[in-house]
Structure 1
Amino acid sequence: MASGLEEIEPDSGLEERTSSLSIHGHREEGEKNTRESKIVIAAIDFGTTYSGYAYIFRDELDKAKDSSEKSNVIYKHWQSGSDAGICSHKTPTCLLLNSAGKFDSFGYPAEEKYYNLMNNNAHLGWRFFKRFKMILLNERNLTTETKIPDDQNNIFKAIDVFALSLKFIKEDLIRSLKRTGFDIKEKEIQWVITIPAIWNPRSKQFMRMAAEKAGMKSKQLEFALEPEAAAVYVKETKVAKQRVSGDEHALVPFSVGTRFMLLDLGGGTIDISVKEVVPGRALKEIHRASGSGLGGDSINVQFFQHLEKVFGSKVMSRFKNENNQKAALYDLEMEIELKKRNLDFDQNGNLKIAIPPALIEMFEEDEDKDFEEHLNSFPGFKFKRGKLLVNQKIITEIFIPSVTSLIQLVRKIIAQENVTKISDIIMVGGFSQSPIVSKTVKDLFKHENVNVIIPNDPDLAVLQGAVMYRYWPEVVRTRRSPYTYGTRLLRLWLDGDDESKMTRRGKSKEVFCGDHFEKFVSLNDEFETGQTATIKVYPVEADTTEMAIDVYTSDKSDPRYTTDNGCEKLGRLVVHMPDTTKGLDRRADVTMTMGSTEIVVQGKMMPDGTPTKVVFDMLNAK
């Protein structure tokens, strides 16, 4: 039995036939009916630094007459254990497991309990995870077996960390629903989880598997791209100024034809989307989703890098890694997080950072010198009464990498030929509230006749929009492909092919070209929601019962080979073709949705359209 693995073999005709591609749109009525049968729409904003959820009863949206009623969602109010007087709509994305690896707590309770354990030096063996979401952006070889370190550098399966976290949020939301007095069953909830638009399909598959492991049924779950969800919300918010009469103006939602850029500036990622409002109050994507991993947390990293210059790498490494200093390290991390957000400079232009006494003692012990005197050789730094005074110039330097990355991304997008007539830039996400970031963006466009708007509660825009999107996914009319997609192909040799790709096959030693990138979708191609690309698959031999095809992505528009820079193997399509009666005279059509938030594959044996099993493994395929 032939498997058809690796490159497509010659003499089968497949080297020509598999490149046949058709693209068409379709709407799944079954999915729509399933969606409308749910009583509750529940959205989870699972962030790098903070997470939260919101929900609404579907009939409230059915009855909504205007945009304000559409956004009338119910939030969870999370209460900080360390300061019982403060409630917020989000809780820290951190998970605490006991020494046996079992769930203990999530969010503020996990943070507080682990801090108390550290203060009592009783934390050894406990497993505390925070800011772990970034692995889904940064890990290039993500699998279901990928492991991540906890606070004490003990490793644990990443998918279990995500699943346990999502399970807690899901169950907490269900408890909240029960307190309303309504008898809501899990099967009556339609879930939506927000994810960065710049995640690759592999990370999305990982998140879906984690959500299913947390107990969410696949048919009840959909993803919302974070900047897209925010765009859905903003589209219905009264943010545009319209003349009513004379000098009188009123705020109204964006009108049809408005083109705007959405900057979702979160803790982990910067996500940028460009949309146009089209007839029917829907959205069309003008430019593919773009972004970087230099969100608000990158400022914390820069802070610590500057502290390393001041204290020395040896002292900072010791301070970070000694278990008996974990509580002090946590205090410093929280101090930096707080001061980064407020940037409350004193009259001399200094930001005061409380430094743990243990760090000062460690420095003076290791370096055998007075810390205050040591700072004389570091312009912009002073130390008084336990506080490190950091000059405003140094703070600006700390923000430069992230802000520069943001501005470069925005300028690159606006420079594209199809990105014209942008009238508004909307900034959402917690990092958008940073005075340095917002001022930089506003200064960039102050002469461009472009409005820069930060809506009320910008950190909740994604959650609000996710609920509205799940109610009406078709609100996003079109999307742009973030990659070029193709398969790895062995084809006949052509003049101009790279000599290193030459190979001879068969009895006649005919010359072929290996590693050919057979493109079926180009970077920035536009697709309607639900639109699919169809790949025609043929068996390589008469007794082939399944075909395995490697799918690649590229960040270039026209890659030649799957080994080119910017090309990565995304995963493997395995198409089942169990009936060998017709030998080589068989064909399966594999459809891949390219206009949705995820790639979904389906297979049919032709010509009768009999469904056949297709597996697209992006996490375990070698």
Structure 2
Amino acid sequence: MDQHKQRIANLRLENEKCNKKLEDLRQENRNLKSENSKLRSQLQDIQNELPSREVRSPPQDRQNELPSPKERSPPQDSQNELPSPKESMSKAVDHKLESSDESRESEPPTVLKKRVTKKHWVKLPFQLSSTENDGQQPQETNADDPKSCWMQSEDVTKKPLKQCTSPAKAFSPRTQPKVSLVSIGIDFGTAFTGYSFGFKGAKQIRQPKWGEEYGMNTPKTPTCILFDENKNFLKFGYDAIMYYTRQTRRNEAKKLFLFDDFKMELYGKVLHRDSMMTAKNGKKMRAMKVFSESLKFMKDHALDMIGKHTAGVTYSASDATWVLTVPAIWSAAAKQFMREAATEAGLVTESEPERLIVALEPEAASVWCKQLPKEGFMEGDLTEAEIIEQVPGTQYMVVDCGGGTIDITVHEVVEGGHLKELHRVSGNNMGGQTVDKNFKAFIREIFSEKVFDEFEKHHPSELQRLMYDFSICKRYDGEVLVQCPYSLQQIASKVDDIEAYFSRDNDVDWESGQILLSGAKLKDLHEDSVRGIESLMKEILKKPTLNIRYIFLVGGFALSPYVNRFVKEKFGSKCQVLCPVDAQMAIVNGAVMFGMMPNVVESRISVFTYGIAVVHFFDKIKHKGKSKYVSKDGVHYCDVCFHCLVKKDESIPFDEAEQYIFNALEIDQRELPFSFYCTEKETAEFVDEEGMRKIGSLVVSMPKISQGRNRSVILEIKFGFTEMQATATDVDSGETTSVKMDFMSK
């Protein structure tokens, strides 16, 4: 009891320190506001010094003094009077305005630059609204609608991201409005899911044990969720499997919605908020509900567990920083899907999105491995030092062998134990489940299509048990025994003698209700996966600029002796191959540490070339055959041009942002929409080129229209974190808000 009281006293003392630190941060914020006010004043001076391109609408009685739109349009045959082809312009659709029959007496708005003087226009059609929309749904818009308004930008300036004017609304892990007391990492895996947590200032990381009531004792639980016939949540993990099995025996399982191994439903697919998933009973449910209920279960379990470790002190979700790990090769849409599912689950609120960090799985594992002493690995020595993070300049590769994906990242240790990425993250979907699929296909071949189909249809829980037993066998070398479900034996025996099924293959045998797989057959089942791993690693290791000394094998699939041995045989002569003692926990434990220092990775390599759709003055030669847009002033533009923001393989610092300053074009314009594209090519000219993909959009809200066209918005886009982030600042008021970037189709 005395220890508990002391613990509570320590927590109160720590809370007082946190409050003091918070007050210091508030004072710093007030100072920044003052500085920001001075900067706005300087910005206004710069605006006043620049030649104005805006033609204001005069009073009604002076309309006849203006030149007609045709008189203001540049001659089509006088290219020397136009800006150069590199000069560009951008177009934004105003979805809240009715089109007017009157001609707008203005040119596009001006976007200021500090260094670059060439002007460009950004085409921004699309559908998103600011998160500050009073809970209203974003209006759907048509990207191809020719009725659009315009805005002009003169610069794209790279600069370190400064603290925002309104830190409580800024979308950045570095500007949290409330000090987190605990960091909670969730590894939402394809086959198994788990979490770990650590208190601020403490080195110990804890995690629960799962399945003890069923004779298990594992650090993770199966990624399996069960709903009742009304789609209400029932069970998760081992509980879901056991409950479903009992209902199967009572012939009640057909009413239930069981989902397992569903994480890969987000890989390589077009995602939207109403995407559906198929349960074992053949019925469908919204994927968002399946994922959000799974995360809600993990959240509730974690907070309850933390309370038990703090003498019953109650913790809420807002007391924590949550770190949700995802495969490195997932699309921006898949990451956004997980973020929205986590928000729906109550991990964070829309007003505090910075409390959730979506971390890449190999990065989280890297953070864990770099600080391990040599005793933290199964075998091998760290010959240069006991802890890698203490040796700046050390380069290493992390190969995350998960159930669904293989993800690889390459890091170099810099001063202070921080990391910089040396090669863009890469991966494929050849994880441990590829071996499971090969085993399932092999069993189907052994027993015949007819027998296996009947077994799969009428005994899904026993099939799941068979696959679980095999997943355990993957961790052993040589021949293994897999228990054959009794129902499969019964169905098969109606067609032929059981032993007859196994007489057709020398690498498998029948032994008293068990399937005996030879070591050769087990190795053969791994072949597709290990070859997938080999191709990824070869592509990276052939880079002459890299000097990789260590290869860390992490993830549950890394425990397979076939994977471990294969990597050592192929690459052990070039690099030292190490596997952490808790390889399957490296990601989730690293996630906890990631939550405590989200800027540990100082720079990342861009996987694609990213940019936005822009419009240029139409060039009859350069833009021949391309889409043409004619403004209300009669000016012709090519509206499918591509303006690059970040190039493929470009190194992007964690704290660097792209900055744009936009003015409104129309006096009653209420929003500025952007369309984002990516390509694997290093350079591109048009958004309709082969290989170009539209990945998302955002809309900057401009609700106050009293200043007409004299309204400026600073848009900052940050590429250096695991998710693209954006903030918009109203220059007049200085108010900064996070801007939601939408990467899902709807």
TM-score, L = length of structure 1: 0.86
1:106 to 2:260 alignment: no
Question: Following the alignment from structure 2 to structure 1, what is the Cα–Cα distance between the partners of residues 712 and 286?
Answer: 40
Q: Is the 8 A contact 2:361 2:400 kept in 1?
A: yes
Letter in structure 2 aligned against 1:485 = Y
Q: Is the 8 A contact 2:447 2:501 kept in 1?
A: no
Q: Is the 8 A contact 1:8 1:540 kept in 2?
A: no
Partner of residue 424 from structure 1, selected from 534, 538, 550: 550
- The corresponding residue for 2:346 is 215
Letter in structure 1 aligned against 2:211 = Q
Q: Is the 8 A contact 2:551 2:576 kept in 1?
A: yes
Q: Is the 8 A contact 2:555 2:585 kept in 1?
A: yes
Question: Following the alignment from structure 1 to structure 2, what is the Cα–Cα distance between the partners of residues 565 and 131?
Answer: 34
Distance 1:406 1:229, change over 3 A: same
Letter in structure 1 aligned against 2:288 = I
Distance 1:360 1:569, change over 3 A: same
Where do residues 307-456 of structure 1 align in structure 2 (5 Å cutoff)? Answer: 307-320=443-456, 322=457, 324-345=458-479, 351-363=480-492, 365=494, 369-370=496-497, 372-373=499-500, 375-418=502-545, 420-448=546-574, 450-456=575-581
Where do residues 193-592 of structure 1 align in structure 2 (5 Å cutoff)? Answer: 193-218=324-349, 219=352, 220-239=355-374, 251-254=386-389, 255-320=391-456, 322=457, 324-345=458-479, 351-363=480-492, 365=494, 369-370=496-497, 372-373=499-500, 375-418=502-545, 420-448=546-574, 450-494=575-619, 500-503=625-628, 505=630, 512-537=637-662, 539=664, 541-580=666-705, 586-592=711-717
Equivalent position SS for 2:231: coil
Question: Following the alignment from structure 2 to structure 1, what is the Cα–Cα distance between the partners of residues 474 and 698?
Answer: 46
Distance 1:414 1:500, change over 3 A: farther
- The corresponding residue for 2:281 is 152
How many residue pairs align between the two structures? 589
Q: Is the 8 A contact 2:478 2:518 kept in 1?
A: no
> What's the offset of the Cα at 1:309?
3.0
Q: Spell out, residue by residue over 1:152-178, the C-alpha distance to the aligned partner (whole angstroms, 9 max, x if none).
A: 221111111111111111111111122
Question: Following the alignment from structure 1 to structure 2, what is the Cα–Cα distance between the partners of residues 260 and 292?
Answer: 20
> What's the offset of the Cα at 1:282?
0.8
- The corresponding residue for 2:35 is none
Letter in structure 1 aligned against 2:274 = E
Letter in structure 2 aligned against 1:426 = F
Equivalent position SS for 2:470: helix
Question: Following the alignment from structure 1 to structure 2, what is the Cα–Cα distance between the partners of residues 279 and 249?
Answer: 17
Q: Spell out, residue by residue over 1:202-251, the C-alpha distance to the aligned partner (whole angstroms, 9 max, x if none).
A: 2221111111111122432222222111111111111399xxxxxx9973
TM-score, L = length of structure 2: 0.73
Distance 1:250 1:602, change over 3 A: closer
Question: Following the alignment from structure 1 to structure 2, what is the Cα–Cα distance between the partners of residues 76 and 229?
Answer: 19
Letter in structure 2 aligned against 1:330 = Q
Question: Following the alignment from structure 1 to structure 2, what is the Cα–Cα distance between the partners of residues 577 and 102?
Answer: 40
Distance 1:90 1:13, change over 3 A: closer
Alignment gaps of 5+ in structure 2: 1-92, 96-123, 126-142, 168-172, 377-382
Q: Is the 8 A contact 2:400 2:558 kept in 1?
A: yes
CA RMSD in angstroms, aligned pairs only: 3.0
Question: Following the alignment from structure 2 to structure 1, what is the Cα–Cα distance between the partners of residues 739 and 697?
Answer: 10
- The corresponding residue for 2:157 is 22
- The corresponding residue for 1:131 is 261
Question: Following the alignment from structure 1 to structure 2, what is the Cα–Cα distance between the partners of residues 193 and 503?
Answer: 44
Question: Following the alignment from structure 1 to structure 2, what is the Cα–Cα distance between the partners of residues 613 and 57?
Answer: 28
> What's the offset of the Cα at 1:357?
4.4
Question: Following the alignment from structure 1 to structure 2, what is the Cα–Cα distance between the partners of residues 343 and 382?
Answer: 17
- The corresponding residue for 1:90 is 220
Distance 1:363 1:559, change over 3 A: farther
Question: Following the alignment from structure 2 to structure 1, what is the Cα–Cα distance between the partners of residues 512 and 451?
Answer: 21
Question: Following the alignment from structure 2 to structure 1, what is the Cα–Cα distance between the partners of residues 422 and 403?
Answer: 25
Question: Following the alignment from structure 1 to structure 2, what is the Cα–Cα distance between the partners of residues 516 and 249?
Answer: 51
Which structure features the higher share of strand residues? 1
- The corresponding residue for 1:66 is none
Over the matched positions of the two proteins, sequence identity in percent amounts to 28
Partner of residue 595 from structure 1, selected from 710, 713, 720: 720
Partner of residue 188 from structure 1, selected from 296, 319, 322: 319
